[in-house]
């Protein structure tokens, strides 16, 4: 019993320790970032308690933020451990019921995510105890834990039904999320947990269709329909086919549009909503620019960093084969990077929606910042993707690159804003900064070539 669950957990744990041994620096850096982030939230709770401000921290906001984080995390895990991998076909081909297999996969995902929640929340409570804060919230912590359970359940159903051939099965999950979103009541979310559980059981009965649907491909039997492409075109076609089959382009567009709308709304009304009147004079001019940069970072992380990393991370078991084909290293990297042009096009709705709130006069600067951020994020991601082929989790690398982008883009955006406001022809200076970023991207590609050659040497290159 629970054989699949034990295998997934043991394999994940073993892979984690092997990765930590192979690249300790990256994991130490990631661990320090996580500990610092939790410490920062604990310090903010202490800071807002000791200063004399008419400000109340809403537990509902924190409640729903944690809920949606674990909802997204569980959906990604279901895709990772059930929808995408081909190894699961062996288990599904046995006499064991398919519902039992998917349920055991869900148990593994549930235990891993709840362990993450327990570890981070325990660390947060430890930091809270260090500061002299009144922190006795047993019922709130229980509510938060039930919300995490509900998030894991609903996130799993959303992923399973999204990849199903019959999309109408998404309606129950959508109704649950609409109730949760518009009610703004943590108590209602807790009461919906049994209903979410029954919906999960119903989803398990149809889960095999989601697994099969993503693998159905149209095959051409007529040789005249087969098109011979050059190397770069073939690599481009291969990568966009994967993104299209995984329905990532639609996800990129929706994310860019929603983020643009939310960023524009916070640009206009964020200081009044989030900052008390006594601090608005101090932070009112700073926050709008911060909201714009954070919105661009979110879009770039999802539409640039994520695909750029996975262009190489996905070649975990095939890179050694690719390296023994008569393809130059530079051709391989350039061919894969051409895919990011379509990903950038999918991010353009961010500009359209944020301009509704910001106005046309700031359109040039926002467009420039998005383009520059896209180039810089790609330059950072490519060497990491090549360096850690088959060794690292894309989630860990995404978080690490996010911190790097904040460190790099913050001063660059300030310099660009200075040129945009104080010079007569800012387009000249902004263009120079873009050209410098392109040069940095070129250097990054050359570094990636050297890394790939060292990791996977070739005997002969044609």
Integer distance in angstroms from the first to the last C-alpha of the chain? 53
Helices and strands of the chain, counted as H and E runs = 22, 0
Which residue did the predictor score with more confidence, 133 or 120?
A: 120
Q: Model confidence at 438, in pLDDT bands (50, 70, 90)?
A: very high
Task: Report which DSSP code applies to 226.
Answer: P
Give the contacts of 304 (CB within 8 A, at least 6 positions apart): 340, 343, 344, 347, 373, 374, 377, 378, 381
Q: Model confidence at 197, in pLDDT bands (50, 70, 90)?
A: confident
pLDDT given for residue 221 in this prediction: 46
pLDDT given for residue 54 in this prediction: 47
> For the residues 330-348, what does the mean pLDDT come to?
86
Contact 75, 158 (CB under 8 A): yes
What 3-state DSSP class applies to 131? coil
Residue range 69-110, pLDDT digits in tens: 888 888 888 887 777 765 565 566 666 677 787 888 888 889
Residue range 374-409, pLDDT digits in tens: 999 999 888 888 887 765 556 677 777 888 888 888
Task: Give the CA distances from residue 277 to residues 55, 219, 271, 274, 341, in Å, rounded to whole numbers and listed in that order.
Answer: 10, 64, 9, 10, 44
Torsion (CA) 144, 145, 147, 152 in degrees, nearest 10: 140
Give the contacts of 369 (CB within 8 A, at least 6 positions apart): 292, 293, 296, 413, 416
Q: Model confidence at 220, in pLDDT bands (50, 70, 90)?
A: very low
Which residue did the predictor score with more confidence, 430 or 400?
A: 430
CA 394 to chain centre: 9
Closest to 113 in 3D by CA, of 91, 145, 159: 145
Query: What is the pTM assigned to this prediction?
Result: 0.63
Write down the H helix ranges in 301-362.
306-313, 319-323, 329-337, 339-347, 349-358
What 3-state DSSP class applies to 85? coil
Residue range 145-181, pLDDT digits in tens: 888 888 899 888 888 888 777 778 888 888 888 887 7
DSSP line for 393-436: -HHHHHHHHHHHHHHHHHHHHHHHHHHHHH-S-HHHHHHHHHHH
Q: Model confidence at 462, in pLDDT bands (50, 70, 90)?
A: very low
């Amino acid at each position: 019993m629970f054989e699949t669950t034990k295998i997934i957990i043991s394999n994940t744990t073993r892979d984690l320790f092997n990765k930590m041994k192979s690249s300790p620096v990256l994991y130490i850096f990631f661990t320090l970032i996580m500990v610092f982030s939790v410490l920062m939230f604990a310090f903010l709770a202490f800071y807002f308690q000791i200063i004399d401000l008419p400000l109340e921290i809403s537990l509902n906001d924190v409640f729903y933020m944690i809920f949606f984080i674990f909802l997204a995390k569980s959906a990604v895990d279901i895709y990772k451990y059930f929808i995408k991998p081909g190894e699961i076909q062996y288990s599904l081909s046995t006499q064991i019921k398919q519902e039992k297999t998917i349920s055991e996969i869900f148990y593994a995902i549930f235990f891993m995510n709840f362990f993450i929640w327990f570890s981070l929340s325990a660390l947060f409570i430890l930091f809270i105890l260090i500061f002299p804060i009144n922190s006795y919230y047993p019922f709130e912590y229980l509510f938060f834990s039930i919300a995490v359970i509900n998030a894991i359940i609903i996130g799993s159903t959303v992923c399973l039904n999204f990849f199903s051939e019959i999309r109408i099965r998404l309606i129950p999950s959508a109704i649950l999320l609409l109730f949760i979103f518009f009610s703004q009541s943590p108590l209602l979310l807790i009461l919906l947990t049994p209903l979410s559980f029954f919906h999960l059981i119903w989803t398990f009965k149809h889960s095999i269709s989601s697994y099969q649907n993503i693998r159905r491909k149209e095959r051409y039997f007529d040789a005249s329909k087969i098109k011979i492409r050059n190397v770069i075109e073939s690599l481009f076609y291969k990568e966009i086919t994967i993104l299209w089959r995984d329905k990532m382009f639609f996800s990129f567009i929706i994310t860019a549009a929603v983020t643009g709308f939310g960023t524009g709304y916070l640009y206009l009304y964020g200081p009044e909503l989030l900052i008390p009147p006594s601090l608005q004079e101090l932070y009112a001019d700073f926050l709008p620019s911060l909201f714009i940069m954070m919105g661009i970072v979110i879009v770039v992380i999802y539409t640039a960093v994520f695909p750029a990393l996975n262009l190489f991370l996905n070649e975990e078991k095939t890179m050694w084969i690719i390296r023994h084909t008569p393809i130059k290293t530079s051709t391989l990297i350039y061919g894969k990077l051409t895919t990011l042009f379509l990903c950038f096009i999918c991010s353009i709705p961010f500009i359209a929606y944020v301009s509704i709130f910001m106005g046309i006069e700031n359109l040039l600067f926002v467009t420039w910042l998005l383009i520059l951020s896209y180039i810089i994020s790609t330059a950072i991601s490519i060497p990491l993707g090549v360096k850690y082929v088959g060794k690292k989790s894309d989630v860990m690398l995404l978080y690490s690159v996010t911190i790097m982008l904040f460190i790099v883009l913050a001063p660059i955006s300030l310099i660009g804003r200075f040129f945009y406001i104080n010079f007569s022809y800012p387009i000249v200076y902004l263009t120079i900064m873009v050209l410098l970023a392109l040069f940095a991207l070129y250097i990054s590609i050359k570094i990636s070539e050297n890394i790939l050659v060292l990791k996977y040497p070739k005997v002969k290159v044609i």
